[in-house]
Structure 1
């Protein structure tokens, strides 16, 4: 099976694909909003520490299981033990991961469609297509269904081409473009009045906030979820790595890329918030919290763009192009979860598997759009609040308790023959057994309050 499966052709291809999975709307949208609502510089510092204390060890669990098993998430977890009970647990955990990935993508595709419509609307205005602009600015079923269909179709088309020609090829194109747009927007926003206050709030921590339990738990959750952990995406990407790749080093590189993009996104969003505040746009309430909260992108930033005159439309186009690309790179990794199951367990061709899986997920998206008030927030809560943390614990348990110590050592030694002598090997097996599950469960319990 290992010889017939796809494989990343280069380290940079894997890193950009993994970064594309991790660097989505959660990083460019979620992280800066969390930082603005939780102490700015203090949140940033705690987040960066916890990204390596919690997220990196959990990421290594997924990558190690993936390359060891060389299979989709269900088969991979099943194959870790010959005991019937553990094989059933592997099948259940893998199936749950596939289900969670499917439902995350079903609402994620809707949000990605919104980003696309926000990108196309000012573009239509610049082209003089007023009727199209008005239609794109509407929030009706037809508009939402069409833009969701476009983003779903792009995701299906990329996944259908396979690992090297699809995931890797498009990640190496989209990620540099994403970074270039982000950098250009940062340079522009930092030249505006008020940006300095935002930069100071973002980069200078208040020492008294560093030990705030709520801030720590918020940073803990963001560090874990920003790396796409808990749904098997990194496990599958790990299964496409070569035996010569150094897993601990690859894990560090992915974590650095992810946190680096999140940090860079904060350099755009937080100064932009203070620029909006300087221009008289209502941003903060009496207690200093964000008025828009999670809806920041659709409320505060468009209002800011409107105050920029003729340049505002082009800034809006560039910004929502950035958001659309970020959404697409994450959607690619989520669709690969069910597609790999179809290809490897049911022997369906990859193009057909991509169409069937993507089509089924789009049908779920249409149902959510149709019954939006009843389903949208419910699906988000079930998958991200409940599903991801519990699956993250399960994957740590499989790596720390089900895989034998010699299996872990042999797998990690393939790309790093001296691994047994390193600090990583002395700490990580114990850490992934006890510390990671405990910290993830702590975040999970806190999220239920």
Structure 2
């Protein structure tokens, strides 16, 4: 039986859903951590440049492929490459699908940490001290409980469909996320030590911006925070009416995502210096103590030192991160779900729970071999798989689609010269820039 294809019913629904996909732990957890570890303002400057030169074009290419095909990423890339090699295109889509599963497998674990810390602060507020301590302490048992909970939350939204599930909940959760973020920033910036952190974050040391490790870190962060290279944006693009003004939509998504990352830095980095001002050790040899785990050690102690108001702030902060994680897991889950529904004729409900079971399996594998696999999964995804997928999208749009540059040729037919330049930029400049970065990665490794 043929499945009826769902879609977004409004422009704002698409923008908020796509922005929700991009705005997640990569922005609020990953970006401030990378910024603090890589020179603060210098990292911010390079991140903005990389986003403009590479991430924005990659996002456009991914959304464009999905929008033109009106199909899931595997079929969309197969169609785009059919005059060259349909099998190659479908293999590219499957690699992106595998990347989505990889992202979900570690993302749901981290999201579970966020949720448990939010509940820890609530437990402390109502006097359940022992429960609060257990919820705030990293353990295998806690991971085994909260990772499945978060997978179930995402599945409950996905199985409702695009309009009734993804669009409906994105338009509800994203405004809440923004309000909570602004409120927390206002509060943190009034605390002692915050101004020092603000200076570190906003004033770049330009001697650091040519550091290859900083550039690679910024590129990986840009692709990860925009959820590019795993097919999520492609499948969202396919749910929009064909030939909408994708340029404005992609600019809106990128602006929202970059803005949230910037605001997250305004929250987290001053908060780290507030903690340091209060006597906690935050940096050692110019690196964060505990790396990505820092916000689960330093910030809860900072919030606890503020008394009851600090526990309220902690609840808001970790709920904010939980919402951000949920909106991102939705898009990654939709990639394999859409493939199963459209290519394998599986019902949406069955596909959702099947994908969730696969994600749960790999998440449990990461939990069982955490020290070996967790960091490796993140590195492979953000520094290899996502950039390689983006390079493939550039090649598809610029070289393989009808054995030519689909975007440029279509623009010439309609006399839109600015899109001709844009098509040539995606065709020539972006692949070269990405290749240069990959060469630097190889040299460093």
1:370 is aligned to 368
Tell me, in whole angstroms, the C-alpha distance in 1 between the residues paired with 2:291 and 2:137.
Answer: 22
For the residue of structure 1 that corresponds to 2:371, the secondary structure is helix
Checking the alignment, whether the CA contact within 8 Å between 1:2 and 1:70 is kept in structure 2 is: no
Tell whether 2:278 aligns with 1:306: no
Q: Give me the whole-angstrom Cα distance separating, in 2, the residues matched to 1:140 and 1:210.
A: 38
Q: For 1:134 and 1:188, locate their aligned partners in 2 and report how far apart those are by CA, in whole Å.
A: 25
CA distance in 1, matches of 2:243, 2:276: 51
Indicate the SS of the match to 1:348.
coil
- Deviation of the 1:5 alpha carbon: 1.4
CA deviations on 1:47-101 (whole Å, 9 max, x unpaired) are 2222111111111111111011111111111111434x61111121111111111
Q: CA deviation at 1:6?
A: 1.5
- Counterpart of 1:430 in structure 2 is 424
Q: 2:416 aligns with which of 421, 425, 428?
A: 421
Give me the whole-angstrom Cα distance separating, in 1, the residues matched to 2:128 and 2:24: 30
Q: How many residues align?
A: 442
Counterpart among 334, 358, 361 of residue 359 in structure 2 = 361
More deviation, 211-220/380-389? 211-220
1:228 match: secondary structure: coil
Higher mean alpha-carbon deviation, 202-211 vs 93-102, is at 202-211
1:262-318: CA deviation from partner (whole Å, max 9, x where unpaired): 111111011111111111111122x43322322221222122222212222111111
C-alpha separation in 1, matches of 2:286 and 2:29? 19
Q: Does 1:97 align with 2:92?
A: no
Q: Give the TM-score normalised by structure 1.
A: 0.92
Equivalent-residue separation in structure 2 for 1:365 and 1:211 (angstroms): 37
Check 1:244–1:100 CA distance in 2 against 1; reply closer, same or farther (3 A cut): closer
For 2:405 and 2:367, how far apart are their aligned partners in 1?
49
> Residue 412 and residue 337 in structure 1: after superposition, are their counterparts in 2 closer, same or farther (change >3 A)?
farther
Superposed CA RMSD in Å reads 2.3
Q: In 2, distance between residues paired with 1:298 and 1:412?
A: 50
8 A contact 1:72–1:344 mirrored in 2: yes
| Structure 2 SS opposite 1:403 | helix
Match for residue 168 of structure 1? 167
Q: Is the 8 A contact 1:68 1:411 kept in 2?
A: no
Structure-to-structure mapping, 1:5-84, within 5 angstroms: 5-83=5-83
Q: Distance in 1 between matches of 2:422 and 2:367?
A: 43
Q: Measure, in 2, the Cα distance between the counterparts of 1:283 and 1:37.
A: 11
Distance 1:269 1:93, change over 3 A: same
The question of whether the paired residues in 1 share the 8 Å contact of 2:341 and 2:351 is answered with yes
CA distance in 1, matches of 2:392, 2:38: 29
For 2:160 and 2:63, locate their aligned partners in 1 and report how far apart those are by CA, in whole Å: 23
Deviation of 1:383 after TM superposition, in Å, equals 2.7
Gaps spanning 5+ residues in structure 2: where? Answer: none
SS of equivalent residue, structure 2 residue 244: coil
Q: Distance in 1 between matches of 2:159 and 2:67?
A: 22
CA offset at residue 354 of structure 1?
0.6
* Contact 1:77 1:94 survives alignment (8 Å): yes
Deviation of 1:3 (Å): 9.9
Change (3 A) 1:237 1:21: same
Aligned residue runs from structure 1 range 187-336, under 5 A: 187-243=186-242, 245-285=244-284, 287-336=285-334
Structure 2: how far apart are the matches of 1:165 and 1:434?
A: 40
1:109 touches 1:152 (CA, 8 Å); kept in 2? yes
Give CA-to-partner distance per residue, 1:378-413, whole Å, 9 cap, x none: 333333332222212112211111114574358779
Picking from 392, 399, 402, the partner of 1:401 is: 399
TM-score by length of 2: 0.93
The 10-residue stretch of structure 1 (364-373 or 208-217) with the greater mean CA deviation from structure 2: 208-217
SS in 1 for 2:287: coil
When residues 289 and 348 of structure 1 are mapped into structure 2, their CA distance, relative to the original with a 3 A threshold, is: same
Residues 107-154 of structure 1 show CA distances to partners (whole Å, capped at 9, x for unaligned) of: 111111111111111111222223432432343333211111111001
Q: Are the structure 2 counterparts of residues 412 and 239 from structure 1 closer, same or farther at C-alpha, using a change threshold of 3 Å?
A: farther
Greater shift in the superposed pair: 300-309 or 232-241: 300-309
Work out which of the residue numbers 378, 381, 389 in structure 1 matches 2:379. Answer: 381
Distance 1:5 1:212, change over 3 A: same
Show the counterpart of 1:443. 437
Q: How far apart are residue 2 of structure 1 and its match? A: 12
Preserved contact between residue 389 and residue 441 of structure 1 (Cα < 8 Å): no
8 Å contact from structure 2 (residues 303, 310) kept in 1: yes
Name stretches of at least 5 consecutive residues in structure 1 with no aligned partner.
none
Whether the 8 Å contact between 1:64 and 1:411 is mirrored in structure 2 is: no
Q: Which residue of 2 aligns with 1:129?
A: 128
How far, CA to CA, are the matches of 1:88 and 1:17 in structure 2? Answer: 30
Worse-matched range after superposition: 228-237 or 384-393: 384-393
